[in-house]
């Protein structure tokens, strides 16, 4: 008699084990990541609760939360609770050329910052947001600090507005007046939208955009869009100053200096075969 073939074991789904805590974990980093998880899953967090969750002193929790606020991952509401900030729900930019753009822009930003002694930022637009890729700070004691990694509404920042101004009106409507905009919390109210469109038209005419304390109290900025060899927008440069100094810097030739820097950088972008086509 022939033997029956041995039954094969049923196939099982291979499950990955739960990640183990690294042997050499850094407690401060771990605590900050736990705070991100608490904000993500709970939506709001009081300082007292944060300290209890982490089993740390309130002063330690406050310092950690202050860094999350600084980087845009948390904000404080009117009750002083911490809630998720604009950077919390933002996915990867998905732009493979941003590292190259940063590399090309860095020397130009350093020269411009040294020339003006003010802070220079590089940013790109992802949907309705402006993402700050790099910052070169000025040397003044009173200066605008590092914004690298920060995510802000594009319709509020100078560089963001400079990039938005080069879009057609139907695309602007899609970004800020559609159902998706309402779901994402990006809608510009009816009463403000006509003025916003007029501002974009003015930016197109002037070739630059300004931000007078629109994103941060005490900070003003001027931005100009960057283009690749085909004339498509790939980013923007901005110069940010304390609001009290902006007029003086502007009158001293800010627009001319920023335009020349953008022109020189666009030459490098166009000459690079891996630019953002």
Question: Which CATH number does the domain housing residue 70 bear?
Answer: 1.10.10.10
Secondary structure (3-state) at 135: strand
Answer yes or no: is 236 within a domain.
yes
* Whether residues 164 and 119 fall in one domain: yes
Query: Looking at the structure, do residues 36 and 58 belong to the same domain, yes or no?
Result: yes
Residue 139 maps to a domain? yes
pLDDT digits (tens, 9 = 90+) for 247-265: 999 999 999 999 999 999 9
Of the candidates 10, 238, 255, the residue with the CA atom closest to the CA atom of residue 136:
238
Please check whether residues 116 and 235 belong to one and the same domain: yes
**What's the confidence (pLDDT) of residue 14?**
46
As a whole-number percent, the residues of the chain with pLDDT over 70 amount to: 86
Q: Does the residue 93 lie in any domain?
A: no
Q: Is the dihedral of CA 191, 194, 196, 198 positive or negative?
A: negative
How many separate domains does the chain show?
2
| Domain limits for position 70 | 27-84
Final residue belonging to a domain, choices 84, 117, 152: 84
CA-to-CA distance for 159 and 126, rounded, in angstroms? 12
End residue of a domain, out of 19, 54, 84:
84
**Residue 248 and residue 135 share a domain:** yes
Does residue 58 share a domain with residue 107? no
Same-domain status, 139 and 109:
yes
Residue 210's CATH number = 3.30.450.40
- Domain-located, residue 13: no
Residues 241, 144: contact at Cβ < 8 Å?
yes
Tokens of 242: 């304390």
In a domain, 75, yes or no: yes
Q: What is the pLDDT of residues 169-190, one digit of tens each?
A: 999 999 999 888 887 788 999 9
- Give buried/exposed letters for 189-208 (b at 16+ CB in 10 A, else e): eeeeeeebeebbeebeeeeb
Residue 202, classed as helix, strand or coil, is: helix
112 closest CA partner among 202, 216, 224 = 224
* Residue 46 placed within a domain: yes
The answer on 77 and 212 residing in a single domain is: no
Classify residue 20: in a domain, yes or no: no
Q: How far apart are CA 51 and CA 33, in angstroms?
A: 14
Last residue of a domain, one of 18, 49, 84: 84
Residue 161 has pLDDT above 70, yes or no: yes
132 and 256 part of one domain:
yes
User: How do residues 43-58 score in pLDDT, each as one tens digit?
Assistant: 788 999 999 989 999 9
Judgement on whether residues 151 and 56 belong to the same structural domain of the protein: no
- Statement to judge: residues 163 and 67 lie in one domain: no
Residues 224 and 135 placed together within one structural domain of the fold: yes
In terms of domains, do 54 and 104 share one? no
Residues 65-117 have pLDDT tens digits of 999 988 888 888 878 889 887 777 666 665 667 889 999 999 999 999 999 99
Collapsing DSSP to helix, strand or coil, 82 comes out as strand
User: What confidence tens digit (pLDDT) does each residue in 31-44 have?
Assistant: 998 898 888 877 78
For residue 35, tell me if it sits in a domain.
yes
């Amino acid at each position: 008699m022939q033997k029956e073939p041995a039954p094969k074991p049923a196939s099982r789904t291979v499950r990955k084990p739960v990640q183990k805590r690294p042997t050499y974990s850094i407690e401060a980093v771990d605590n900050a990541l736990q705070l991100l998880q608490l904000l993500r899953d709970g939506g709001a967090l009081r300082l007292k609760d944060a300290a209890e969750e982490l089993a740390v002193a309130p002063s330690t929790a406050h310092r950690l939360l202050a860094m999350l606020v600084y980087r845009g991952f948390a904000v404080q509401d009117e009750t002083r609770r911490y809630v998720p900030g604009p950077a919390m729900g933002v996915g990867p930019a998905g732009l493979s050329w941003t590292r190259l753009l940063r590399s090309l822009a860095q020397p130009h930003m350093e020269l411009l910052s040294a020339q003006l002694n003010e802070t220079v930022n590089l940013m790109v637009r992802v949907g309705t947001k402006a993402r700050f890729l790099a910052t070169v700070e000025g040397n003044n004691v009173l200066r605008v600090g590092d914004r690298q990694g920060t995510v802000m509404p594009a319709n509020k920042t100078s560089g963001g507005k400079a990039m938005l101004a080069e879009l057609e009106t139907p695309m602007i409507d899609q970004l800020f007046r559609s159902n998706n905009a309402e779901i994402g919390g990006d809608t510009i109210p009816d009463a403000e939208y006509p003025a916003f469109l007029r501002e974009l038209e003015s930016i197109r005419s002037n070739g630059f955009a300004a931000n007078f304390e629109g994103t941060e109290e005490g900070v003003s900025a001027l931005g100009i869009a960057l283009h690749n060899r085909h004339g498509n927008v790939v980013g923007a440069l901005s110069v940010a100053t304390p609001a009290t100094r902006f007029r003086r810097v502007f009158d001293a030739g800010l627009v001319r200096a920023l335009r020349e820097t953008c022109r020189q950088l666009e030459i490098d972008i166009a000459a690079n075969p891996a630019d953002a086509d």
